[in-house]
Amino acid sequence: MSEETKVNETAETANQEAMENIVTLKKGDTVKGAIVKIDDNQAFVSIGYKYDGVIPIRELSAVSVDKASDVVEVGQEVECKVVSIDDEKERLVLSKRQVDGEQSWDLMQQRFDNQEVFEVTVADVVKGGIVADVGVRAFIPASMVERHFVEDFSDYKGRTLRVKVKEIDRENNKLILSQKDVLEEEFEANKLRVMANLQEGQELEGTVQRLTQFGAFVDVGGVDGLVHVSEIAWQHVDKPSDVVQEGQQVRVKVLKVDPANGKISLSIKATQPGPWEQAADKIKTGDIISGEVKRLVDFGAFVEVTPGVEGLVHISQIAHRHIATPFEVLKQGQTVQVKVLDFNPAEKRVSLSIKETEEAPAQAPKPEKRIKEELNNPNVSLNNQAMSVTLGERFGDMLNKFKK
């Protein structure tokens, strides 16, 4: 055999071996390869075929992406499905999305059945919620993102959320996730732990979370308790926002714990000195102070001398003169000066007097006393005599004429 023949046979054998090593492909096949190049709108994959396959950007992910490098990187191993093949044009189109989708639906069904918690990354913010890529497009409605209302989700893109599968419908390509369900379960579990450690009468620090017309909700260790408007302050409170603000740190006392209904009753005012305790350092028997008439009753008037401290002005202590009812001289809301007759903070009692803050008016003498004074006073007698003479002289002639 000539040398030339041997060379030809060797080359033919090498070609046959090379052809045998080349992967044979058809549409629908699943192949594995490595990313060798990335453009903005496509990625190239080496799968051992006679030319590289291309993954268009639309076939890289189940959600819309701006560029191919957001999904894959050079050297990354990927599994793809053959979408189309054209050897004449050396065009091999692959889809990573289809393979990911098939695997993802099985995984999502498994997670739904087991109520498993897993993490996803927010890929996009759309109308009505946010979107994540879990191999298939997953939608998280706005109402299922947080426990509280969120108005703007623009800063959620790229965030990692812990979610559960809320609804899955493979036939209609529908996958709904919820982070709210995860947060609610964790909140309730933590609530039970916190409530188990709370004791009535216990005092602790809390943060005002939100305000309503009927009170303030205060976070005490991750659980909200209610401070009713009547328990915010010792003085009357029209609305909670007049006294406390959201985010404010407050000290509260546990009034009641109701694990069965998940309710905690708290008090802010119970952690502070009461009005009577505060008044004990300010008011003494014999003091003359200002107060506001709060209520009028048949037997007297109740006057507030300090916030939360009311004393009684008995009807006999309202005026120096006799009055039938307090309404004759007082009205509700009027500011008056009062004298403290007796102050007993332990029994929450204070007796007051209005008349003792005023000088008693001079009294007119009684008739018998006036007569005695006139008889004992020469000047008064002379004046009376003078008046008698004058009248006699003046009318004497007239009287004489009548006599005739």
Q: What are the pLDDT digits (tens) for 360-404?
A: 887 666 666 565 665 666 554 444 444 444 444 544 555 555 444
**pLDDT exceeds 80 at position 156:** yes
Sequence-ordered list of residues with C-beta below 8 angstroms from that of 348, at least 6 positions apart, any chain:
276
Rounded-to-integer distance, Cα 304 and Cα 284, Å: 15
Chain segment 158-208, per-residue pLDDT in tens = 999 999 999 999 999 999 999 999 999 998 888 889 899 999 999 999 999
Residues 319-331: what's their mean pLDDT?
93
Q: Is 235 helix (H, G, I), strand (E, B) or coil?
A: coil
Two tokens at 342?
């007796």
Instruction: Name the residue ranges covered by the structural domains of the chain.
Output: 23-96, 115-183, 200-271, 279-357
Rounded-to-integer distance, Cα 287 and Cα 311, Å: 13
Rounded-to-integer distance, Cα 57 and Cα 60, Å: 5
- Domain 23-96 sits in CATH at 2.40.50.140
**pLDDT exceeds 80 at position 323:** yes
**Which residues face 263 on adjacent strands?**
258
Q: What is the mean pLDDT of the chain?
A: 86
The CA dihedral of 108, 114, 116, 122, to the nearest 10 degrees, is: 20
| Superfamily for domain range 115-183 | Nucleic acid-binding proteins (2.40.50.140)
Instruction: Provide the pLDDT confidence category of residue 12 given band limits of 50, 70 and 90.
Output: low
CA angle 294, 299, 305 (to 5 degrees): 30
- Domain 200-271 sits in CATH at 2.40.50.140
Class of CATH domain 279-357: mainly beta
Rounded-to-integer distance, Cα 149 and Cα 158, Å: 20
Q: Is 115-183 in the same CATH topology as 23-96?
A: yes
Rounded-to-integer distance, Cα 290 and Cα 286, Å: 13
- Residue 279 pLDDT: 87
**pLDDT exceeds 70 at position 20:** no
User: Which of 257 and 362 is assigned the larger pLDDT?
Assistant: 257
At 239, the amino acid letter reads K
Residues 128-152: what's their mean pLDDT?
94
Rounded-to-integer distance, Cα 61 and Cα 71, Å: 7
Rounded-to-integer distance, Cα 279 and Cα 179, Å: 53
CB 101 within 8 A of CB 136: yes
> Is residue 142 exposed (0-12), middle (13-18) or buried (19+ Cβ within 10 Å)?
middle
